[in-house]
């Protein structure tokens, strides 16, 4: 659901048309708020309300279609990275990299480590070329030399991984 919504938001006219076809009045359409993830309590309320509405309309969601609740880290092969012995636990955070389909890969990183290392590790783990993906945090493209500290990232923050699009 979230992945489909984010894809629709890339095409605002289509998004509004879909909302109209679903019977949603224009004043009730929820547009993207790039600062929305900053307020964790509000984000958790939105998540719970959306999940509740989904269950009411469609029953329990399939696990493959609905991500785990905020704050929960998926368990399974390839979902976490082991922290380095050199990392100070007080300077270490967990971040998630989420692709356009909603798949999440979790990493533990040092706040002062250049994010290019995380981006390279993600691409290697996914088997994709680094040049074919761009990474965004809080609506801004991540610069290779910048650190989690530079972006004021905290535990469980999400980095978006998007396939580079070329053309007009």
Burial of 53 (0-12, 13-18, 19+ CB in 10 A): exposed
Q: What is the pLDDT of residue 32?
A: 63
Report, as an integer, the average pLDDT of 21-32: 77
Q: Where are the domains of the chain?
A: 1-32, 38-71, 89-163
Among 53-62, 113-122, 137-146, the minimum mean pLDDT is found in 53-62
The answer to whether 95 and 133 have CB atoms below 8 angstroms apart is no
State the Cα–Cα distance between residues 80 and 23, nearest whole angstrom: 41
φ and ψ of 60, to 5 deg:
-65, 135
* Entry field: residues in the chain: 168
State the Cα–Cα distance between residues 83 and 168, nearest whole angstrom: 41
pLDDT in tens, 121-155: 999 988 888 888 999 998 889 999 999 999 999 88
In this structure, what DSSP letter does residue 62 have? P
Q: What is the pLDDT of residue 109?
A: 92
State the Cα–Cα distance between residues 114 and 78, nearest whole angstrom: 22
Domain 89-163 has CATH 3.40.50.2000: no
């Amino acid at each position: 659901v979230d992945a489909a919504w984010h894809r629709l938001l890339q095409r605002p006219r289509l998004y509004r048309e879909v909302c109209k076809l679903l019977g949603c009045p224009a004043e009730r359409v929820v547009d993207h708020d790039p600062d929305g993830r900053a307020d964790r309590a509000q984000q958790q309320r939105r998540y719970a309300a959306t999940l509740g509405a989904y269950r009411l309309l469609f029953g329990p969601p399939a696990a493959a279609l609905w991500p785990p609740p905020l704050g929960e880290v998926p368990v399974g092969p390839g979902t976490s990275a082991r922290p380095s012995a050199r990392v100070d636990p007080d300077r270490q955070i967990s971040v998630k990299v989420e692709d356009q389909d909603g798949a999440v890969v979790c990493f533990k990183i040092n706040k002062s480590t250049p994010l290019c290392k995380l981006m390279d590790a993600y691409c290697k783990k996914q088997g994709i070329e680094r040049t074919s993906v761009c990474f965004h945090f809080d609506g801004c493209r991540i610069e290779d030399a910048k650190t989690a500290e530079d972006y004021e990232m905290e535990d469980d923050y999400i980095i978006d991984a998007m396939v580079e699009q070329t053309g007009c």
